[in-house]
Amino acid sequence: MREDILNYFKILEKRELLGTSYLFVGEDEGTVVDVVKLISCNEELSFCGQCWDCKRIEDGNHPDLHVILPEGLSIKIDSIREGIRFFSLKSFRLKKKILIIKDAQTLTPAAANAFLKTLEEPPKNSFIAISTSKLEGLLPTIISRCRKIFLPFKEKEVDRSLEDSVFSFLKGQDLRFADRKKFSSFLWALIMVFRDGLISKSGWINNQLPQGGEREIILNSYEIEEIDSILKDILKIYEVAKSINMNLALNLIRLKL
């Protein structure tokens, strides 16, 4: 899973399609830092983990990298201002200046607003990686200005046996769930099908998967941007899976497809 994400960034970099702002949603077990190493290290196919840049990035003290973390319970406007100032400096070694904002769900409204302009008009040769454990609570304007990358959630492994239900659902079949746990696992499997689809489609010419099974047929019927937006909606529903009416939720998702 993590490998998929790193592969995805490898492909983007190779084809010079790397965007400026990414929002990583989920439990970040060092994936964001690895992505930063990947785009900074001189090693051709991955990152070495041994060079000056890799080591400094790992330790969080690379001159072209600035990391913003919550102070206490939240990320305050002063930290964001510091990040913006960092972007105004010239880069020392790397082609890009890189800003990581961790636990962005803790941004205060003032801090989030202060950062909007930077997201709207990011400085040249910058890379912004924002990570959040959930979309809830983040300003929609922040979410919409970033490309979203879905990370694994700690406690959640995908139940692959649910993929058949996912495909039935995507083909229009109605589903009923006896209990919430199954329902929530189903939603997660659905998110993973789209997430994996997003990642694998972007590696193919015209973003079309080669002819294969029903997975390919279904995924090819969506544009990358559509998958991105569907993912965002399903994730919101997933976050309230414990309390939402299950049939209502499935109908809501159906409307987005």
Among 23, 54, 187, 230, which residue sits at the site for Zn ion (rule: CB under 5 A)? 54
Q: What is the spatial order of strands in the sheet that 21-25 belongs to?
A: 65-68, 97-101, 126-132, 21-25, 147-150
Is 51 one of the binding residues for Zn ion (CB under 5 A)?
A: yes
Measure the CA–CA gap between 84 and 116, rounded to whole angstroms.
11
Among 17, 48, 89, 248, which residue sits at the site for Zn ion (rule: CB under 5 A)? 48
Half-sphere exposure of 6 (CA within 13 A, CB side): 16
Is 59 one of the binding residues for Zn ion (CB under 5 A)?
A: no
Nearest distance in Å: CB 42, Zn ion:
7
Is 33 one of the binding residues for Zn ion (CB under 5 A)?
A: no
- Identify which range of 2-10, 18-26, 40-48, 235-243 contacts Zn ion by CB under 5 A: 40-48
Nearest to 128 by CA among 248, 254, 242, 20: 20
Tokens of 24: 């990583």
Is 6 one of the binding residues for Zn ion (CB under 5 A)?
A: no
Nearest to 163 by CA among 202, 134, 135, 197: 197
Tell me the number of residues near Zn ion by CB under 5 A: 5
Nearest distance in Å: CB 47, Zn ion:
5
- Identify which range of 34-42, 70-78, 159-167, 170-178 contacts Zn ion by CB under 5 A: 34-42
Half-sphere exposure of 103 (CA within 13 A, CB side): 12
Is 119 one of the binding residues for Zn ion (CB under 5 A)?
A: no
Q: Which residue ranges make up the site for Zn ion (CB under 5 A)?
A: 41, 47-48, 51, 54
